[in-house]
């Protein structure tokens, strides 16, 4: 009898333990399920939607989008295409885009007008890269001095008036000796030169340059490497957008830098992508890529380039009111994403 009672007690105790463990397991599964859901929700919340100003001939953002680099860094990117980087920078003012890229000139123009900040440099043009900026002129112009009294094209909102000014000074001429005619994009400048509405224009990129070499009545006079002008390039955004999304901006910059490296390492893939998306000839992409590396950071050289350009813009009334350049730099997200690439110290 005693043995039977002990056996019954042991059986009841075992059942209790099983029920207890089963309950704990259910709670554990539920907790794990809830944690997974919360993790997914947090991951979704961390994804940042960004509208990015772009142009047809720039592969970097397209590579980041197509190769999943933006997605890997939590960026839900939408590319908004413009005729020139300067147009993209101007789109910041009406909140058509969240970030834009461009040369020093449009970046400084943007930060001079209000609550915008430069968040990264994308590099400085080398002498070799500068050779891609070509000056094409009508055939009656055989030397720089022949430009006096002529109509010369510039893309509105860009550094090209500065380039004209420096080039003319080097040849004992001045902007007052010519008439500058503004266009919105290189395609417009090409048509104006073709139709004789302008006598000279600067162009960039293999696609346009190849078309110009084939155009009757015009020829290449020089290229930018033979001038003192060298371009800096960077990325700009609104202060409010940066303040609300510091980690998202850091992730975006890390993705862009990775895409820039990927593009240089995989030229054939990039050429296929550019042909697929914008019908750019593959040989043009492969030719242009080495001269257009995107490597994010911010150095003393980048700062000096901006300073030189700002001085010119202030002195010539392009920027009406001078400002402290350091106050227009927001390098914290970049330092978080790529700490070794930020060597400039305020």
User: 229-260, pLDDT tens digit by residue?
Assistant: 988 899 999 999 999 999 999 999 999 999 99
Q: What confidence score (pLDDT) does residue 2 get?
A: 37
Rounded percentage of the chain residues whose pLDDT exceeds 90: 77
Q: How far from each other are the two terminal CA atoms of the chain, in whole angstroms?
A: 90
pLDDT at 32: 37
Coil/strand/helix, residue 40: helix
pLDDT number for residue 123: 84
Smallest CA-to-CA distance from 86 within 122, 54, 58, 121 is with 54
For the chain, which residues make up each domain, given as ranges? 47-125+231-341, 130-226
pLDDT at 300 over 90: yes
d(CA 199, CA 217): 11
Measured distance CA(103)–CA(124) in Å, rounded: 9
Q: Rounded to whole angstroms, how far apart are CA atoms 123 and 121?
A: 6
On whether the CB atoms of residues 91 and 157 are closer than 8 A, the answer is no
- Span 24-63, pLDDT tens digits: 344 344 333 343 333 333 334 479 999 999 999 999 999 9
Please report the pLDDT score of residue 42 as a whole number. 38
Class of domain 130-226: alpha beta
Average pLDDT over residues 299-315: 94
The pair of three-digit structure tokens given for residue 292, joined into one six-digit string: 């257009």
Of 186, 172, 163, 182, which is closest to residue 143 (Cα–Cα)? 172
Average pLDDT over residues 273-285: 95
Running DSSP on this structure, what letter comes out for residue 170? Answer: T
> What are residue 241's DSSP bridge partners?
none
Burial code of 219-234, b = ≥16 C-beta within 10 A, e = fewer? eebbbbbebebbbbbb
CB contact at 8 A, 62 and 70: no
Decide if 274 contacts 62 (C-beta within 8 A): yes
pLDDT of residue 281: 94
CB neighbourhood size of 263 (10 A):
25
| Helix residue spans in 196-245 (DSSP H) | 206-213, 239-244
**Per-residue pLDDT tens over the stretch 74-116:** 999 999 999 889 999 999 999 999 999 999 999 999 999 989 9
Same fold, 47-125+231-341 and 130-226: yes
Residue 174 and residue 168 in contact, taking contact as beta carbons nearer than 8 Å: yes
User: Domain 47-125+231-341: which topology?
Assistant: D-Maltodextrin-Binding Protein; domain 2 (3.40.190)
pTM confidence score: 0.81
Write down the pLDDT at residue 327: 97
Enclosing H/E stretch for 236: strand 232-238
Identify the pLDDT of residue 17.
Answer: 34
CA distance 54 to 267: 19
Q: What is the pLDDT of residues 187-233, one digit of tens each?
A: 999 999 999 999 999 998 888 888 999 999 999 999 999 999 988 89
pLDDT of res. 117? 98
Mean pLDDT, residues 9-24 taken together: 35
pLDDT in tens, 114-139: 899 999 999 877 788 888 899 999 99
Give me the helices (H) in the chain, please: 2-46, 60-66, 69-72, 85-90, 104-112, 127-130, 160-169, 186-195, 206-213, 239-244, 246-265, 267-278, 282-288, 300-315, 332-337
Q: Residue 257 corresponds to which tokens in the numbers above?
A: 């830098």
Tell me, what's the pLDDT at 37?
33
User: Residue 28 has what pLDDT?
Assistant: 40
């Amino acid at each position: 009898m005693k043995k039977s009672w002990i056996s019954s007690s042991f059986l009841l105790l075992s059942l209790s333990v099983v029920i207890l463990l089963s309950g704990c397991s259910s709670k554990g599964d539920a907790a794990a399920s809830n944690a997974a859901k919360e993790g997914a929700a947090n991951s979704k919340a961390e994804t940042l939607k960004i509208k990015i100003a772009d142009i047809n001939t720039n592969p970097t953002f397209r590579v980041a989008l197509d190769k999943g680099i933006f997605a890997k860094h939590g960026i839900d990117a939408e590319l908004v295409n413009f005729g020139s980087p300067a147009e993209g920078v101007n789109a910041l003012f009406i909140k058509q885009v969240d970030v834009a890229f461009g040369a020093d000139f449009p970046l400084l123009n943007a930060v001079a007008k209000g609550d915008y900040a430069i968040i990264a440099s994308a590099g400085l043009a080398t002498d070799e890269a500068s050779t891609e900026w070509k000056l094409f002129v009508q055939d009656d112009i055989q030397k720089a001095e022949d430009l006096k009294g002529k109509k010369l094209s510039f893309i509105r909102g860009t550094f090209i008036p500065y380039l004209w000014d420096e080039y003319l000074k080097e040849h004992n001429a001045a902007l007052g000796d010519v008439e500058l005619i503004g266009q919105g994009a290189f395609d417009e400048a090409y048509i104006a030169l073709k139709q004789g509405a302008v006598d000279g224009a600067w162009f960039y990129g293999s696609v346009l340059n190849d078309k110009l070499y084939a155009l009757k009545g015009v020829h290449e006079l020089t290229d930018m490497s033979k001038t003192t002008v060298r371009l800096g390039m960077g990325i700009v955004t609104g202060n409010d957008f940066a303040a609300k999304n510091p980690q998202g901006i850091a992730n975006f910059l890390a993705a862009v830098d990775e895409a820039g490296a990927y593009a240089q390492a995989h030229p054939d893939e990039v050429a296929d992508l550019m042909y697929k998306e914008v019908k750019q000839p593959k040989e043009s992409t492969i030719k242009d890529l080495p001269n257009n590396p995107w490597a994010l950071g911010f150095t003393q050289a980048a700062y000096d380039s901006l300073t030189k350009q700002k001085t010119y813009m202030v002195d010539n009334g392009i920027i009406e009111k001078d400002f402290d350049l350091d106050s227009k730099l927001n390098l914290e997200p970049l330092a978080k994403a790529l700490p070794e690439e930020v060597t400039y110290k305020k």
